Structures are given as structure tokens and as C-alpha cells.
Structure 1
Amino acid sequence: MKRIGLLGGTFDPPHLGHMIIAEHIRENLELDEVWFIPSHLPPHKQEAAVSAEDRLQMVKKATEGNPHFSVSEIELNREGKSYTIDTMKSLLKEYPSDEFCFIIGGDMVQYLDRWHKIEELNELVQFVGVGREGIALDSHFNVKMVEIPRIDISSSMIRQRLTDKKSIRYLIPEGVFHFIKENALYEFKP
């Protein structure tokens, strides 16, 4: 049996904050692996700025240096809205002997009651909330909170920096930086 953390998201683009969260949770919970799951169409966000294929390639670039990280295309292959309940049912059917936890940002903990079929989902998977020291987050759902160092990097901030023609170096993995540059994503202008 493997213990696997799942980190879903738009990853538009993936950044060092995603990598730090995944590695910190993996170590703290003694997980065997963390799977990054790019969403096709997130139900709670606007459409991604770049294609699903570009986001997938960026996540692959971001995770390629860590043997404990991998990328699942489960939501991209399914298309349509990416509901976590559907993902969990599929994964539990395909990997019945493995144990999963679903990693969410601390900001999402208070909104779990808005997730599609959350009561059923709460029975299927352990949620792990990413917390910040000194900030108490409360939920009536079963969420295991893990404190991580403060990381103020977001995909929207990176996209805005690109729009403003500011550097994004050292905010994203090097392979993602080169992929964005080579493919002129987010209107990248060297």
C-alpha cells in the first residue's frame, strides 16, 4: 500500500509555492508520493489563461526533478468540469489498496461546504489543509491541518508580473520558466 497525496489545481502556471507545499506535506505526513492533478475546467475558478496541454507540460517540467512527484492526467482526460468527487471515485477504483489524501490551500478549508457532493467526498478522502503559523482555520469537515512556511507566490501574481513585463525568475521552476519563454505563454517578452 502506498500513501499518496493529491494536489489538484489549475497550475496556470505551476510555481515554487506548489512545489514547497507538496514537498513539505510529503515529509510531514510521510507520504510515498505526491501526484499533481491539473484540472480541465475548475468549477470554482475562471477558465485558465493557457491551454490544458500547455499547463500539463508545465507541471511535468516542474515535477521532473523530484522522484516522489508525478503528474496524473485523470481530470484532463475526463474533460468537462473537474469535480474532486469524480476524481476520487476513479482513483479509488483504479488503486483500491492505496491510501489517498487531498491537499488543499488553507483558503479553501472554509469553502469546503461549497464543494460538489462534499459530504460523500469527505467519506472518501482525508483532506489536508495547508495552514500558516498562527492562523486558525475551522471546518466541520475532517481536515488535517499542516503548517508550512509562509509562501506568498500565486499563479495570478506570476501572470500579472508577465503582463507588467517584470521578472518571474526564481518564482517558478527553471524548466517552467524556459517552457513559458520558448512558447511565448502569457505574452512572455524576453
Structure 2
Amino acid sequence: MKKVGIFGGTFNPPHIGHLIMANEAYDALQLDEVRFMPNAIAPHKKLDDDASIENRHQMVEIAIQPYQQFRLETIELELGGISYTHHTILALKEREPDTKFYFIIGGDMIDSLHTWYKIDELIQFVQFVGVKRPGTHSTSTYDVKMIEAPLIDLSSTLIRKRLKNGGTLKFLLPDGVEDYIRKEGLYGTR
């Protein structure tokens, strides 16, 4: 049976912390691949910045391009609307019945897992994989397989603030992502 990690998020923008989390899950669980899955509309976050779905999709493609263990998963973009993990996992399981899916989440999402849409049903179809994040409890009453990973206090919010304020992004973004952001004039770089 194929073992696939799903790493969903807004990726607004994708940063080096995302790549580290995905790679740590890939290695710890001996996955066949990890798919980065940008959502269409996040149920837990309001996107108030100017990166479109297409921009986020392109940035993820640029970020993961050098790594053969990473793939782009576009199912939530294809489904459109609010991206509920419940709907997504059911669609993935229908499309790939012989694949075991591991849904990779950070500490902030672990803490709020009890609020997820149809979580009691969802937990039966997917194994959640948790990676601690600084400033979170990273605990849940639901079954979350925790993995060890370097704690990096980095967020897309910090990246957007730095872009707006002209701060350094050295070592924070994957190669090519900053160039794309500046070329497209995203996050106040116009």
C-alpha cells in the first residue's frame, strides 16, 4: 500500500519551515511522497493579502520543484470553495483507494483539531501527523501521531511583514519564491 503524506495549507507564501516539516514527516514515517496541497479557501484563516489562488499554487510549485519526494496536490483547488479536509480526504480515498494518507499538521492545527468539520468521521479515514510549533500546546484528544522535528518559529505572517517592511528574507524562503513574489508584486512589493 502506498503511503502518502498530505500537507495542506494556505502557503501564503510557502517558506523553509514548510519544507522542513514535510521532509521530517517523509523521513520519520518512511512515506513514498509528500504532497503539498494549497487550499482554495481556508476554513480557519482569512486571507487578507493579495496573493491569489494561482499565485499560491505557483509559489508551492517553485518551492518544491528541486525535491523528488515532494509533489503538488491540486484537488482542493479543483474542488473549489471552502476547503474542508473531510471532503478532500474522501475525494482522495475515492480516487486512490489503495493509498494510506497521513495528514501533516502543525501545533496550531493540533490545538484546534476539535473544531474541524466532521472531525469524528474524518479521523477514521486519515492518520493525522503532528509537528510541534513554538507557542502552541500541540495536544489533542484525537489520535495524532507526533513526530520529532526541529522547532522553527517561522510563519507566513512574519514573511509577509518582512516583505512589506523591506526586511531580510535570507534563508527563510525556498529558492525562487522571493523572486516570484517580487516579479508578481505580492505582499506590498509593488
TM-score range normalised by the length of the shorter chain:
over 0.9
Kept after mapping to 2: 8 A contact 1:8/1:38: yes
Superposed CA RMSD: 1.5
Counterparts in 2 of 1:131 and 1:105: CA distance versus 1, 3 Å:
same
User: In terms of mean alpha carbon deviation, does 34-43 or 161-170 score higher?
Assistant: 161-170
Q: Structure 1 stretches (4+) deviating beyond 2 angstroms?
A: 135-138
DSSP 3-state at the match of 1:185: coil
Kept after mapping to 2: 8 A contact 1:128/1:144: yes
Kept after mapping to 2: 8 A contact 1:105/1:129: yes
Matched residues in 2 for 1:83 and 1:8: separation? 10
User: In terms of mean alpha carbon deviation, does 39-48 or 25-34 score higher?
Assistant: 39-48
Q: CA deviation at 1:109?
A: 1.2
Q: What is the aligned partner in structure 1 of residue 27 from structure 2?
A: 27
TM-score by length of 2: 0.94
Kept after mapping to 2: 8 A contact 1:7/1:34: yes
Kept after mapping to 1: 8 A contact 2:111/2:137: no
Deviations 1:80-139 (A, max 9, x none): 100000000000000000111000001211211100000000001000010269x86432
Matched residues in 2 for 1:185 and 1:154: separation? 16
Q: What is the aligned partner in structure 1 of residue 9 from structure 2?
A: 9
Q: CA deviation at 1:143?
A: 0.5
Q: What is the aligned partner in structure 2 of residue 94 from structure 1?
A: 95
DSSP 3-state at the match of 2:154: coil
Q: What is the aligned partner in structure 2 of residue 77 from structure 1?
A: 78
Q: CA deviation at 1:185?
A: 1.1
DSSP 3-state at the match of 1:86: helix
Q: Percent identity?
A: 45
User: In terms of mean alpha carbon deviation, does 9-18 or 106-115 score higher?
Assistant: 106-115
Deviations 1:126-164 (A, max 9, x none): 00010269x864322111011211111110000000111
Matched residues in 2 for 1:63 and 1:86: separation? 25
Structure 2 residues not aligned, in runs of 5+ = none
1:143 maps to a residue whose letter is: V
Q: 1:8-157 alignment to 2 at 5 Å? A: 8-47=8-47, 49=49, 50-131=51-132, 137-157=138-158
- Report how many residues are paired: 188
Matched residues in 2 for 1:89 and 1:78: separation? 12
Matched residues in 2 for 1:132 and 1:10: separation? 17
Kept after mapping to 2: 8 A contact 1:102/1:128: yes
Q: What is the aligned partner in structure 2 of residue 172 from structure 1?
A: 173
